[in-house]
Amino acid sequence: MIISVNQRPTKIFICLLSLLFSACAQRLVVGHSNYPELKLTKSVEFRDSFDKEGLRQACLRQLDVLDRLLAVNNLPAEKRAYYEEMADTSRTMLSGIDSPDFGRFVQDNFDFYRGGAAGSVLFTGYYTPLLQGSREKNERYQYPVYGVPEDLIFVNLENFNKSGKVKGIVRGRELVPYYRREEIENNLGFEQTPLLYVDDKVALFFLHIQGSGIVEMQDGSRIRLNYADNNGFSYVSIGRQLISDNEIPRERMSMEAIRDYFQRRPENIDHYFNQNPSYVFFREDTGGPFGSSGAVVTPSRSIAADSGYFPKYGLAYIETEIPDSKREDGNIKTMPFSALVFDQDSGGAIKGPGRVDIYFGEGDEAAFRAGFMKNEGNIYYLKKKRIKVKLTKS
């Protein structure tokens, strides 16, 4: 907001202006009335831990998506203003990446608005897994990966003057919930030709959680799978259920612990998997992995967050600890993590203002970090500074 004051203001105007800027200093609501208040914070010790090229790549990927959104004809004015603000933020950051004093550039050009109380955000991680697959079902490759079913119906309730969206299937003249995970996996009414088959049911379940992956085929070629849709049911954490059933101690819970458990107790796989009714459908892609924003996600520079609470496409600064190595006693050694990231994704388990998922990339190191990542920290959304009002005496 830019306000010019050319004449001596009255006392009333000064008071109103003071109140206006006092309110602006206390909260930031970006792009959607449902976002919580993000508190302006002056005490951030900015320190970016990662390479500038990753940040440059993330900025360019963000701008590619925003430019495409802004090119849409008849875009509502509110959305256009929001996308333009996000694009301006990205361009400003891109312009200063090579600055000799990058930290000073960031602090001179951006204000930091913290989400939640200090240290209250729980950070987890995700990655792009590698699976083994085949186009044909056989003794080894038994577990199907499905594309979006033709009978899956999506309804935007805003078209009916209501809020929300629903998915389902038409039976007779009625729209009812779509098939649950158990019904899909056991073909209980569900009929769909798979895209391909993989050889590990647990790995397939984690593919659903991660939302994208790479499948190495029998001939050595690789197919990239990206999230396409889901069956409309909310995600239910099997990790939480395993803790509740005293199968895995809370302090030992990780993706590795879940894998180890099902390797020891394969007879329990279906029991626990079916407690999560959510099911993900994929598409084959040549690019990606893509976040729900449409942007290609960048390792250590992209996060998934709840867009009902945090501004999608926003530029954020996060502070937490990430897994570094595994000690001989099995405990995980961590290292400080502070980095600029882009809010480019979402996830079935990432709900509310206290949850953020960091994308770690592909490969063994990414799998290790994502598998053991579960630490609290801070998230700050950056907003470009505007010209300040100066009141001068005439």
Characterize 70-83 residue by residue with b for buried, 16 or more Cβ atoms within 10 angstroms of its Cβ, and e for exposed. eeeeeeeeeeeebb
Residue 63's nearest CA partner among 282, 298, 305, 379 is 298
- The DSSP code sequence of 142-195 is -EEE----TT-EEEEGGGGT---EEEEEEETTEEE----HHHHHTTSS-----S
In 240-313, the DSSP E strands lie at 280-285, 302-304
Phi, psi of 180 (to 5 degrees): -80, 170
Instruction: Give the C-alpha separation, 36 to 279, whole Å.
Output: 30
C-alpha distance from residue 180 to each of 171, 229, 347, 350 (Å): 15, 14, 18, 20
Chain-centre distance of CA 385, in angstroms? 26
How do residues 305-360 score in pLDDT, each as one tens digit?
998 889 999 999 999 999 999 888 778 899 999 999 999 999 888 998 899 999 99
Instruction: Give the C-alpha separation, 209 to 126, whole Å.
Output: 8
Indicate the helix (H) or strand (E) that contains 343. strand 332-345
Residue 387: predicted pLDDT: 56
- 128-302+344-351 domain in CATH 2.40.240.50? yes
* pLDDT over 80 at 36, yes or no: no
* pLDDT over 70 at 393, yes or no: no
Which tokens hold the place of 384? 């470009």
Which tokens hold the place of 5? 């004051």
Q: What is the CA radius of gyration of the chain?
A: 24
Residue 85: CB atoms within 10 A of its CB come to: 18
Instruction: Give the C-alpha separation, 257 to 255, whole Å.
Output: 5
Sheet holding 130-134, edge to edge: 143-145, 196-198, 130-134, 212-217, 222-230, 280-285
How do residues 143-164 score in pLDDT, each as one tens digit?
999 999 999 999 999 888 888 8
Looking at this protein, which amino acid is placed at residue 260? D
Residue 357's nearest CA partner among 312, 322, 305 is 305
Q: Which residue has the tokens 């004093």?
A: 101
Residue 303: CB atoms within 10 A of its CB come to: 28
Residue 285: CB atoms within 10 A of its CB come to: 15
Give the mean pLDDT of the chain.
Answer: 88
- pLDDT (average), residues 137-147: 96
Sheet holding 174-176, edge to edge: 153-156, 165-171, 174-176
Do residues 362 and 214 lie in contact, with contact meaning Cβ atoms separated by under 8 Å? yes
In the chain, domain spans: 128-302+344-351
196-198/143-145 β-pairing: antiparallel
How do residues 222-268 score in pLDDT, each as one tens digit?
999 999 999 999 999 999 999 999 999 998 899 999 999 999 999 99
Residue 128's nearest CA partner among 360, 383, 372, 310 is 360
C-alpha distance from residue 331 to each of 10, 321, 328, 377 (Å): 65, 14, 7, 20
Dihedral angle at the C-alpha atoms of 347, 351, 352, 353, nearest 10 degrees?
-30
Residue 50: predicted pLDDT: 81
- pLDDT (average), residues 67-78: 93
Q: Model's pTM, two decimal places?
A: 0.79
Confidence of residue 35 (pLDDT cuts 50, 70, 90): low
* pLDDT over 90 at 119, yes or no: no
